[in-house]
Amino acid sequence: MPNWGGGAKCAACEKTVYHAEEIQCNARSFHKTCFICMSCRKGLDSTTVAAHESEIYCKSCYGKKYGPKGYGYGQGAGALSSDPPGQDAGPQPHDSKPRPASSKSTANKLSQKFGSSDRCPRCSKAVYAAEKVMGAGKPWHKTCFRCILCGKSLESTTVTDKDGELYCKVCYAKNFGPKGFGLGNAAMLEERQ
């Protein structure tokens, strides 16, 4: 049956969505009032939505439902697990000998699932795409992207690097720039007097 003059159908209520009230997520249309978390019913926007197949959640509910579980993740004691709820992550009956769990493989699986295998050179913590700034060929947190000497926050136009460390242009010039009379080097001025 033709859709006379209307818009797309809302993925939540299946009523017509007109352009003025349309929000799109994962190639599906929603009314502004229908664009809510499937668990807590909180209103969503482009910065707070997390989609899983045909369902939409706020980031908090998505993490509770599909994120890692175990000690340190707000789920109580137990082994780290990123399996969906209701699935047993225990040993399979066809395993003939137990293999020791590798922390690298667990970290690698988590980084594949959540999109980060990069480490910040300053704090050695994982750098996720939303907070990643590139400098000296390495990924940095926005908060760690500072001059090593004066602590000034840096941008792509003000950063210089030497031996993998970040400097503002002023500190770099003072420490690694040309030295001599007329270049602002206090040591040369003291020798002449």
pTM over 0.85: no
CA distance 44 to 37: 7
Q: Looking at domain 132-176, which of 2.10.110.10, 3.30.70.270, 3.40.225.10, 3.50.50.60 is its CATH number? A: 2.10.110.10
Query: Domain residue spans in the chain?
Result: 22-66, 132-176
DSSP annotation string for 25-65? ETTEEEEGGG-B-TTT--B--TTTEEEETTEEEEHHHHHHH
Fold held by 22-66:
Cysteine Rich Protein (2.10.110)
Do domains 22-66 and 132-176 share one topology? The answer is yes
pLDDT-based confidence at 129, cuts 50/70/90? confident
**Residue positions counted in the chain:** 193
pLDDT of 39-92, one tens digit each? 899 988 888 888 888 888 898 898 888 877 665 555 444 444 455 554 444 444
pLDDT of 32-48, one tens digit each? 899 999 889 998 888 88
CA distance 68 to 108: 13
Q: What single-letter DSSP state applies at residue 5?
A: S
CA distance 133 to 107: 22
Write down the pLDDT at residue 94: 45
Cβ–Cβ under 8 Å, residues 144 and 125: no
pLDDT-based confidence at 123, cuts 50/70/90? very high
